[in-house]
Amino acid sequence: IGSFLPSNIPSSKHRSTLDEKLGRDETARILIPDPTRHSQMFYIMTLGTTREARRSGLGSMLVDKVADLILKERQGCGALYLHVITYNEGAIRLYERLGFLRVKQIKDYYTINSVNYDCYLYARYFHGNRGHKTTFDVLYDLASSIVQKLSHALIPSS
């Protein structure tokens, strides 16, 4: 089961004082630093399978379908994002394997049976959007990737 929701990012002239007080635009500001270039985001509201269907590739397939849609048909979409409870290690591994980056931890995001739980905000970026990553982060990732590829090329496998 999955719910994927597109949303348009309001321009600064359409943001209300109430929105600012409630922090509704904080995620958009973090994930989409240039809303004139990327005016949309997709949110994964829910994604889950029955216990028997886990590790069958169904979740990956659903996320990949949405990512393909974003790449082919939604040029204005800069991010696909979600929240995941911090103890859900299986989901965290899945999202990281699918190219999502951990953006930040949010305290007390979920309340389950009157108990508060933190979550992680994860995002996968599209169409040149770097989101929360600084220029230094991008250059560091590039350099790390080059070093890793060179080390694999120079060190023969046994």
Alpha-carbon distance of 110 to 75, in angstroms, equals 32
Which residues are tagged catalytic? 43, 83
Task: Report how far residue 81's alpha carbon sits from residue 88's, in angstroms, rounded to the nearest whole number.
Answer: 16
105 φ, ψ (degrees, to nearest 5): -100, 140
